[in-house]
Amino acid sequence: MTVAERTVMGDPGPRGRFGSFGGRFVPEALVPACEQLEEAFRSAWADAGFRARLAGVLRDYAGRPTPVTDAARLSEALGVRVLLKREDLAHTGSHKINNVVAQGLLAQRIGKTALVAETGAGQHGVAAATVAAYLGLGCTVYMGEKDIARQELNVFRMELLGATVVPVASGARTLKDATNEALRHWVTAVDSTHYCIGSVVGPHPYPWMVREFQRIIGDEARAQCARLLPAAVPDVVVACLGGGSNAAGTFAGFAATSARLVGVEPAGGAALRHGRRGVLHGYLSSFLQDEHDQIIEAHSVSAGLDYPGVGPEHAYLAQSGRAEYHTATDAEAIAAAGLCARTEGILPALESAHALAWVQHAARTGDLPAATTVLITLSGRGDKDAALLKEITRGRR
């Protein structure tokens, strides 16, 4: 690892700080669990045997490496060269499997017998249920009632895999509220249960640990681009973000290069553009808040981006200027999903479509000149969104 990589996206230290963001703000009952997890992660990540087992499972079970697709027809439509990092081709249909396989193996290493998870779009819940079945662990997934209605197929998949899906009726009945309930569950079952957080959020060591588990996306993509491109590195690297795990994993592979790093938030949940410093779910970052510092509900057509905050490392990358963050509207994301489907035969998840939408806008406005090469992380496939897209595009919503 280079000095630049250690500095930009490195070890946040025992306090878990990315600049002034991050940290650990949890009830006393969870402090020992967080400390145990940090110690276990540091030990495992330094253990060649653990790393080899993880790599083997990701290769033989999850289907890594995922390819980079040179999207010729989409490139022609947009006027810039587009490369797609195909996390939609990983087992379960998204990047979530990378993190959950690693956390599942880590949970076994420290003697836990069950996983508890939160989910919005359902992809993390499906991945958690999948890995729990694979490793013989119990699994409980909390999901907001609104998201359950939007993602019925993924709920059924989780139940088929043996997980218990618990509807959450509080608050906006979305990802934030599911996370609240998963944390409460963890407090009551911490001795036997590992909280498998799905993004680069939560108390230390989760934001750092999940980024490291997801950096396989960026590391693979960097090596693949080195073989594809004369300059070895794309001009721009783009990923969507709610909490931001696929973006953090992608950026980690390119942080020490010349690539421009761009994260794309939903316009109705742009915590980095419209948020303020605050604490939620055990960490300090940028959150949507009212004048009384109460959390404001986010909105996105994509359940996976419907979160009022962002991972603390993204807040730091924005503050430091190493990455920039933009937004895409629901309508732009829906249109971009359709364009990708028609030109490439690839239906992206609505989350990923936000990244595509920004590239489409930036190419049209001249922010991305015609000679630009853009790598977009396609974080998941759009099967889960097909019913919703049908309703929207046929005017039933």
Model pLDDT for residues 309-338, shown as the tens digit of each residue:
999 999 999 999 999 999 999 999 999 999
Which pLDDT score, from 0 to 100, does residue 192 have?
Answer: 96
**pLDDT beneath 70, residues of the chain:** 1-7, 396-397
User: Does 13 map to a domain?
Assistant: no
Residues 230 and 368 in one domain: yes
Residues 45 and 173 in one domain: yes
Residues 293 and 325 in one domain: yes
**Of 174, 206, 238, which closes a domain?**
206
Residues 179 and 316 in one domain: no
Residues 239 and 379 in one domain: yes
Domain extent, residue 341, equals: 63-94+215-393
pTM: 0.95
Residues 132 and 277 in one domain: no
User: Does 9 map to a domain?
Assistant: no
Residues 69 and 115 in one domain: no
Catalytic residues: 96, 118, 379
The 10s digit of each residue's pLDDT in 30-60 is 999 999 999 999 999 999 999 999 999 999 9
Residues 251 and 374 in one domain: yes
Residues 122 and 73 in one domain: no
Residues 228 and 332 in one domain: yes
The 10s digit of each residue's pLDDT in 114-144 is 999 999 888 999 999 999 999 999 999 999 9
Which pLDDT score, from 0 to 100, does residue 396 have?
Answer: 56
The 10s digit of each residue's pLDDT in 98-110 is 999 999 999 999 9
SS (H, E, C) 39-81: HHHHHHHCCHHHHHHHHHHHHHCCCCCCCEEECHHHHHHHCCE
Residues 272 and 371 in one domain: yes
Which pLDDT score, from 0 to 100, does residue 2 have?
Answer: 40
**Of 180, 206, 232, which closes a domain?**
206
Q: How many domains does the chain have?
A: 2
Residues 117 and 127 in one domain: yes
Which pLDDT score, from 0 to 100, does residue 171 have?
Answer: 87
Which pLDDT score, from 0 to 100, does residue 5 have?
Answer: 40
Domain CATH code at residue 29 = 3.40.50.1100
